[in-house]
Amino acid sequence: MKLEDVKVLTQQMVAQSLGQTYMEQNGYLTGIPTEKLVDVGKDVLDTDISTEKATKALCVLLAKRYIFEGEYESLFDDIMIDRVEWGGFIERDKIDFADIMDDAVFNIENKKSYAEIEHTYYMPKVASKIYSEGKAIMIPISIQRETLTEAFRSWDNMNSFISKIHAKVRQTLEMALDRYCNGLVNAGIAVSAKATNTAVYLLDTALEAKVNGITAETTKEEALANPDFLLHIAEKIAEIRDNMKMCTSVYNNGSWATSTKKDVLYLLTEYTRKLKFNVKRNVFNREDVDFGEYKSIPCWQAVKAENGNPFAFDVASSVSMTADPTNKLGIGTEAFEMDGVIGFLWNRWALGMTVFKEYTTTSYTASADFWNEFIHSVTNQLLDSDFPMVAFIVGRKEEA
């Protein structure tokens, strides 16, 4: 397995999702090297938690204390695959349809030789990919025994405190893993827009469908204030979702035809909120405005710009990736910038991530009387554009 260094990338992704500086990384929208995270497969032919800061936070012998370790809930858990099931993800053999010929049994010709048909080798059309990259991160934490024993009235209180420290470390890891899943989604959006060209540009489709109030001069903000346009988005999503059930190569990289039995749909929260409060409440048969199950996502990458309001549409709907000279994702070597992303629909096999290994090592420093714990995690994130992925963008293709 080839291990990739993703420490800085992880710090950047966490910072942008928090909207604040994290480990010297800025918390506003800026390009990140997403290609370092993603394994596209190959064809087969220091956290800022020091002992000093932790112990300074303890007031000696307090009668009562509240410890807030916070909570973290994963947004992109649909992408996570149990390591037991990962074998079906990391090595893939895809068998395409066989050739169709005339049946000689019903078209026999006098004195015709059938030797060429009889003894020709018809090789099965099989393509294989293997995903073998690993991304390793480590989370350290230090526990100073003497200071802790002075700060608590009982072993139970101290154990509760240490347990909460461990819980926060676990949440830190969960946040990092969720950011990795988020990075996979952003990479999928970029691939749909620039590599497979399956992205749907909704201002173009609305103009073609002659949606009321949509003209060639309509801005994104004006369109999103138009209930008819919001309904058009819903209809287009339902249309693509139905079409993906067909065995076709329209929505992937064109390498083979496949149908989508199970898909996942992510929609930007600003759109789902507008659809709910600006459209559905005024529709008599609101249950008819339905495009199936989906998950609402507050933002694709960052919650705020360097100067601007948090969760503003132009930021929440944006994906920003640095230039990749290797063109690993197939989207070109230039930096990728895209705003107006309203949704992302993908075949369940197109994206996946698992945790290969996770374990803890410890060491004791006797001179300062503290324990160090190091939580190790090795992951793999794969993206396979052989399977359908479609980004929905409030914009025009000529502007992309």
Residue 53 confidence (pLDDT):
40
Q: What's the rounded mean pLDDT across residues 361-378?
A: 84
Share of the chain above pLDDT 70, in %: 77
pLDDT at 379: 84
Domain that holds residue 141: 2-93+126-399
Q: 214-218, 359-363, 382-386: which range is least confident on average?
A: 359-363
Closest CA to 188 of 386, 383, 396, 26: 383
User: What does the pLDDT read at residue 284?
Assistant: 44
| Highest-scoring range by mean pLDDT, 70-79, 121-130, 279-288, 339-348 | 339-348
Q: What is the DSSP string of 325-382?
A: TT-TTSS-SS-EEE--EEEEEEETTTEEEEEEEEEEEEEEETTTTEEEEEEEEEEEEE
Q: How many domains does the chain have?
A: 1
Q: Which amino acid is at 372?
A: N
- Phi and psi for 168 in degrees, rounded to 5? -70, -35
**pLDDT computed for residue 267 by the predictor:** 96
The answer to whether residue 104 is domain-embedded is no
pLDDT at residue number 351 = 92
- The reply to whether 106 falls in a domain is no
86 belongs to a structural domain: yes
In a domain, 9, yes or no: yes
SS3 22: strand
The rounded distance, in Å, linking the Cα atoms of 137 and 47 is 11
d(CA 126, CA 230): 42
Question: Is 194 within a domain?
Answer: yes
* Cα dihedral sign, 16-21-24-28: positive
The predicted pLDDT at position 147 comes to: 65
Predicted pLDDT at 63: 35
Report pLDDT digits (tens) over 231-289: 999 999 999 999 999 999 999 998 888 889 999 999 999 999 998 887 755 554 556 56
pLDDT recorded at residue 35: 78
Asked whether residue 234 is assigned to any structural domain, the reply reads yes
- Return mean pLDDT, the chain: 80
What is the arithmetic mean of pLDDT over 352-381?
A: 84
Question: Band of the pLDDT at 62, cuts 50, 70, 90?
Answer: very low
**Residues 63-72: pLDDT tens digits?**
334 444 555 5
107 located within any domain: no
pLDDT at residue 127, rounded to an integer: 60
Q: Do residues 268 and 300 touch, judged by C-beta distance below 8 A? A: yes
Residue 187 pLDDT greater than 60, yes or no = yes
Query: Does a structural domain hold residue 25?
Result: yes
Say if CB 203 and CB 394 are below 8 A apart. yes
